[in-house]
Amino acid sequence: GENVEQHPSTLSVQEGDSAVIKCTYSDSASNYFPWYKQELGKRPQLIIDIRSNVGEKKDQRIAVTLNKTAKHFSLHITETQPEDSAVYFCAASNTDKLIFGTGTRLQVFP
Amino acid sequence: KAGVTQTPRYLIKTRGQQVTLSCSPISGHRSVSWYQQTPGQGLQFLFEYFSETQRNKGNFPGRFSGRQFSNSRSEMNVSTLELGDSALYLCASSFGTPQFAGELFFGEGSRLTVL
């Protein structure tokens, strides 16, 4: 079945720096790749997603890139702010289920 | 519009007992997915229901089961509880399949502690 690996598990950056989180997926049929943000004690919420017919998507300070050949996708956060501190989950879907990575805890220090 | 509602929010059980968790999706959403969240393991897929039918199941033992009612509300049941079942159980709803409907809307979760 589908497997999604996510790295790193923790990431600490200084405010204003960029942060990059990487994921790889196993099922080449996967065609939908969302990213969810979970703040401490809160529910996961979608922040950006990309479909397999697109290589890159941007939304203000966040962007996602997809390399279908290598079966990996990445989340890029620029000009990080303390409120970006959270756990970020990547996910992949090829049918009726969404399989998540193990999460990356991002800490942004002022 | 009301969000996804999960009950109970917290519960404590002992080994060997069984538990039933409930999830009310956003009005109009027909797909309900369940996930187990534990530190270090992320969000592990349990199962997904659509129109009262289980369409997909994750790699969990048969002690984990679920169902969906005609009003799209869903329940999951865990029998013969084990210490390792302690986790946050998250329910998420959407209009349809993730690849076509996109965003999953999560509930706040039911935190289960097994003693």
Query: Which of A97, A99, A105 best tests the B interface by mutation, with the highest count of B CBs <10 A?
Result: A97
Nearest to B42 among A45, A49, A103 (CB): A103
pLDDT digits (tens, 9 = 90+) for B29-41: 999 999 999 987 8
B6: phi then psi, degrees, rounded to nearest 5: -120, 140
Per-residue pLDDT at B14 exceeds 90: yes
pLDDT digits (tens, 9 = 90+) for A1-36: 689 999 999 999 999 999 999 999 999 989 899 999
Beta-sheet strands, E only, within chain A: 4-7, 10-14, 19-25, 32-38, 45-51, 56-59, 62-67, 72-77, 86-93, 98-100, 104-109
pLDDT digits (tens, 9 = 90+) for A46-94: 999 998 888 999 999 999 999 999 999 999 999 999 999 999 999 998 7
CB B32 within 8 A of CB B74: yes
Confidence at residue B42, expressed as pLDDT on a 0 to 100 scale: 87
Nearest to A43 among B31, B98, B107 (CB): B107
B45: chain A residues, CB-CB within 8 Å? 97-100
A89-to-A41, B97, B102 alpha-carbon distances in Å: 15, 19, 15
Confidence at residue B100, expressed as pLDDT on a 0 to 100 scale: 65
The answer to whether the CB atoms of A44 and B90 lie below 8 A apart is yes
What percentage of residues in chain B have a pLDDT greater than 70? Answer: 95
The contact set of A with B (CB < 8 A) is 1, 6, 9, 31-32, 34, 36, 42-46, 49, 89, 91, 93-103
B98 Cβ under 8 Å from any chain A Cβ: yes
H or E element: which one contains B98? Answer: helix B98-101
Confidence at residue B102, expressed as pLDDT on a 0 to 100 scale: 73
Per-residue pLDDT at B93 exceeds 70: yes
B41: chain A residues, CB-CB within 8 Å? 102
- Chain B: give the shortest CA distance to residue A82, in Å: 22
pLDDT digits (tens, 9 = 90+) for A99-108: 999 999 999 9
The answer to whether the CB atoms of A32 and B98 lie below 8 A apart is yes
